[in-house]
Amino acid sequence: MRKLIVGALVAVQMAAGMVALRAEPYPHRTVTLVTHSSPGGGSDVFLRQLVKYLSRQIDATFVVENVQGGSGAKAMARLASSPPDGSVFYATTPTYIYTSLLSSSATTFRDLQPVVNFFTDSEVVYTAASSPYQTLADVIEHARTERGRWGAANPASLERQAAEQLKAAAGVQAAVVSHEGGGDMMINVLNGTLDIGIGEVPELRSQIESGQIRLLATFNPERLPAFPDVPTVKESGYDVVLQKFRGLAAPKGLSEDVAAIWDRAAKATLDDPEYRRAYEEESLISNFIGHDSYPQFVDGFADETAGFLRASGVIQ
């Protein structure tokens, strides 16, 4: 028995040594990853799961910092005023594009430097398991007769835009109620104040597994492999397809050398078999975009978004 224990300890030490050897040297011992999300929200969950595996590739300690307020404006300001030395990054999602286009904040997405993208995330429509809505069509029919109340994250979120686009496609006038985070919205879905909420699978995982909520549809182009019985919004009869990107941005001026470290680390982290099992369970789709291409990707998304907002009369 003693030999087995000693052998196991040696194996653990060797594995730890291999991880340490594989981790790439980095110019800072501590790296802060900032998100506009509240604790338990989509970006918060993404970052806290990511850092468990990212430290296998970059020799640093990662700290997640929640900077809420202004639909991401405060978080962007935090980044823009930080040194571009690789010590602090911001979790990019469509929210920071929408906030920049819909508000007059002093800091916008153009003041940050997109560095690397990790995932495409799928938006889903959900309701309380105790609600009368069995399908998305039930929700739309209720909205036709009694207007209804739908929940979304902050006003400048992709979830809010998903709700607005679904309203337009279905020709209904449901009230879309914005929240600062997914946790507050979940409470209002569960207590029946909201007919539905729009969110991401990772932040809904515990409620899905406990049977508290029911998924009605996904805005993904195809059905989610983990939920094959959940139809897409499009196949439900409403031509709306949306996906969320998840990556990191830095203060402008990040060096090529540091950006290249993140390219290598992101690829290796996404290829980590243990992490792959974890993120695929959360219906996250690996979508690596390196620092050479990510700025163009973000600019393209911003142009498309601005076009939709102008066409719908939201902005001039």
Q: State in words which class domain 123-218 has.
A: alpha beta
Angstrom CA distances, 225 to 46, 128, 130, 232, 264, stand at 19, 22, 25, 12, 28
- Provide the whole-model pTM: 0.76
Please, which pLDDT band fits residue 316 given cuts at 50, 70 and 90? low
> What is the per-residue pLDDT across 3-48, written as a single tens digit (0 to 9) for each?
444 444 444 444 444 444 579 999 999 999 999 988 888 899 999 9
Distances (CA, A) of 196 to 43, 112, 131, 155, 170: 21, 34, 9, 16, 15
Domain-wise residue ranges, the chain:
2-121+244-311, 123-218
With a CB cutoff of 8 Å and minimum separation 6, the contacts of 156 are 71, 72, 95, 98, 99, 101, 102, 103
Closest to 178 measured CA to CA, from 203, 161, 201, 200: 161
Let me know if the fold of 2-121+244-311 is the same as that of 123-218.
yes
Count the neighbouring beta carbons within 10 Å of the beta carbon of residue 195.
Answer: 24
CATH topology of domain 2-121+244-311: D-Maltodextrin-Binding Protein; domain 2 (3.40.190)
- The pLDDT of residue 1 is 47
pLDDT at 314: 73
Predicted confidence (pLDDT) per residue in 72-102, tens digit:
899 999 999 999 999 999 999 988 998 899 8
